Amino acid sequence: MNHVAEGTLISYLDGALPLQERTEVDRHLDSCSACAFEADELRLAAREFSSALALIDMPIPLLKARAGVEHAMAGTRAVDLSPWRGARRVPAFLKAAAVVLLVAGGASAAIPGTPLNRLVVQIADLASRLVSDDPEPGPVVAVPEQQAPGAATEWGVAPANNRIRISIRGMSDGLHMTVRLVDDTGATVRASASQEIPSAKGGGGVLEISNVTSELIVEIPRAVNRATIEVNGVPYFTKNGQDVRILQAATEAAEDEYVFTARS
Amino acid sequence: MDFEDLFQRLYPSLYRYLHRLTGDADVAEDIAQESFVRLLKQPLPEEEVRPWLFTVAMNLVRDRARKNERRQRLLSGAPPLVTGITLPDDHVEQNERIVAVRAALEKLSDRDRQLLLMREEGFKYEEIAGVIGVAPASVGTLIARALRRFVDVYRAQGLVG
């Protein structure tokens, strides 16, 4: 066998050669140091290229993009989406608004299954828009930064078909997330990009997720009545009927007491 | 195949490809979104979706490059721009590395850049050939040469290692 062409070598390294040709290249590389050197050079170049690309990569804006596609399609009312979604039209975006709620210090709420001593929130009426059937297209609900130290740092909520989609960034190896579904329904949990989290069914079930380091997306059916998402035992998301809240730790919280501000 | 599943599976790859290709996070986001909107209007057999999406995205990149002088600079080897990235002052070396990667990418021809970036996304050679518009038998050779060109320029900047 003559020396192996560089195109064949990279095909060999990429596993793109038919079995017979691959076997021939294998044999040749065992006996030809020049080609083995070339193969090593190409392997190194490919590895260097991959490493270089990793330097310029940015987080994938999956949640924002999904909402953007949904929003764009919501304005295209004449399009028949039946091949993708059965006979349904694109569900219109749920009208939403972002409101920051202040810590009131008065109202308390108990979250099932959490170690909270006290949850201080003031309730806003517009959270219900996330779970309403308002057919009018509207903007995405995007909740800005979560400031609690050491926990997932960025949370976002957006409607998606018949689900509520919660996007969490800033998870790390030491964080443990618990999704609790109080009602008999299901939740689908996905990690964007590299990690795949298996789905789990509810029925009062608990879904445990650990060591997720990429953007994590938790989807909860709108039909579920009560649900919570906790990080290391601290609730960050609650749904109780029509009331959907992202909770933000308040800076003035006393030691051994959790005090939250609700955002919706 | 459910659109939602397709989106979850393919969007990260398409966005990453476009961002690497154009160096512009906003452009990557816009074009990836537009590609998926078009996909919604044109259902396809599942096996055809991914190459179709990348082909549409590439056409959109070219359209944008034609219409926008700034985009054209990005695609034709002009000085590299790093957008959407904010680095503290004490990460200058990291920033230099990023600029070096972009510079080496910009030195490649459009075709070579697309070949290498599609390979990184795990496309088969036949699929790359179809999207780029070259003979399938030539893909390996083109990739090998493009890889060598990239590392030659990248290493010459003295930041590797």
Q: What residue ranges in chain A does DSSP mark as E strands?
A: 154-160, 163-169, 176-181, 186-191, 200-201, 206-210, 216-221, 226-231, 234-240, 243-249, 260-263
- Between chain A and chain B, the number of residue pairs with CB atoms below 8 A apart is 120
Q: Which residues are within 8 A (CB) of B43 and not within 5 positions of it... i.e. 6 or more apart?
A: A83, A84
Q: Which residues are within 8 A (CB) of B71 and not within 5 positions of it... i.e. 6 or more apart?
A: B22, B24, B27, B61, B64, B65
Query: What does the pLDDT profile of chain A (264 residues) look like in tens digits?
Result: 689 999 999 999 999 999 999 999 999 999 999 999 999 999 999 999 999 999 899 888 888 888 888 777 765 433 332 233 322 222 222 222 222 221 222 222 333 333 222 222 222 223 334 444 444 333 333 333 334 444 555 667 777 667 777 777 766 666 777 777 766 555 555 555 445 554 444 445 567 777 666 677 777 777 777 777 877 777 777 777 767 777 655 444 444 444 454 544
pLDDT in tens, B57-70: 999 998 888 876 65
pLDDT for the residue numbered A2? 84
Q: How many CB atoms lie within 10 A of CB A163?
A: 18
pLDDT for the residue numbered A91? 29
Say how far residue A97 (Cα) sits from the centre of its chain. 21
Q: How many CB atoms lie within 10 A of CB A170?
A: 17
Query: Can you tell me whether residue A163 is helix, strand or coil?
Result: strand
Which tokens sit at A254? 């006393």
Computed over every residue of chain A, the mean pLDDT equals: 62
Write down the ipTM of this complex.
Answer: 0.85
Query: Can you tell me whether residue A168 is helix, strand or coil?
Result: strand
* Backbone phi, psi, residue A60, to 5°: -80, 120
Cα dihedral sign, B69-B75-B76-B79: positive
pLDDT for the residue numbered A1? 65
Q: How many helices (H) does chain A have, and how many strands (E)?
A: 5, 11
Chain A, nearest residue to B155 by Cα = A48
Q: With left for phi above 0 and alpha for psi between -120 and 50, is residue B122 left, alpha or beta?
A: left
The minimum CA-CA distance between B43 and chain A, rounded to whole Å, is 6
pLDDT for the residue numbered A89? 27
**What ranges in chain A are assigned the alpha helix state H?**
6-13, 19-31, 33-56, 62-74, 82-85
Of residues B33, B82, B98, nearest to A65 (C-beta): B33
User: A54 in contact with B at a CB cutoff of 8 Å?
Assistant: no
The minimum CA-CA distance between B77 and chain A, rounded to whole Å, is 17
Sort out which chain B residues have CB atoms less than 8 A from A65's CB and list them. 11, 15, 29, 32-33, 36
pTM: 0.55
Sort out which chain B residues have CB atoms less than 8 A from A56's CB and list them. 19-20, 23, 82, 98, 101-102
pLDDT for the residue numbered B87? 44
pLDDT for the residue numbered A173? 66
Cα–Cα distance measured from residue A166 to residue A67, given in angstroms and rounded to the nearest whole number = 12
Interface mutation vs chain B, best among A56, A163, A194, most B CBs within 10 Å: A56
Interface mutation vs chain B, best among A53, A63, A80, most B CBs within 10 Å: A53
Sort out which chain A residues have CB atoms less than 8 A from B141's CB and list them. 5-7
Q: Token match 């969490």: residue?
A: A168
Q: How many CB atoms lie within 10 A of CB B3?
A: 20
pLDDT for the residue numbered B65? 83
Sort out which chain B residues have CB atoms less than 8 A from A50's CB and list them. 120
Cβ of B101 within 8 Å of Cβ of A73? The answer is no
Chain A, nearest residue to B84 by Cα = A58
pLDDT for the residue numbered A138? 36
Query: What does the pLDDT profile of chain B (161 residues) look like in tens digits?
Result: 688 888 988 999 999 999 999 999 989 999 999 999 999 888 788 888 999 999 999 999 988 888 766 545 544 554 444 444 444 554 567 778 888 999 999 999 999 999 999 999 999 999 999 999 999 999 999 999 999 999 999 999 876 65
Q: How many CB atoms lie within 10 A of CB A94?
A: 24
Sort out which chain A residues have CB atoms less than 8 A from B26's CB and list them. none
Q: Token match 């680095």: residue?
A: B87
Sort out which chain A residues have CB atoms less than 8 A from B12's CB and list them. 60, 62, 192-193
Residue window 23-82, chain B: list those with CB within 8 Å of chain A.
23, 25, 29, 32-34, 36-37, 40-41, 43, 82
Of residues A42, A56, A61, nearest to B147 (C-beta): A42
pLDDT for the residue numbered B109? 94
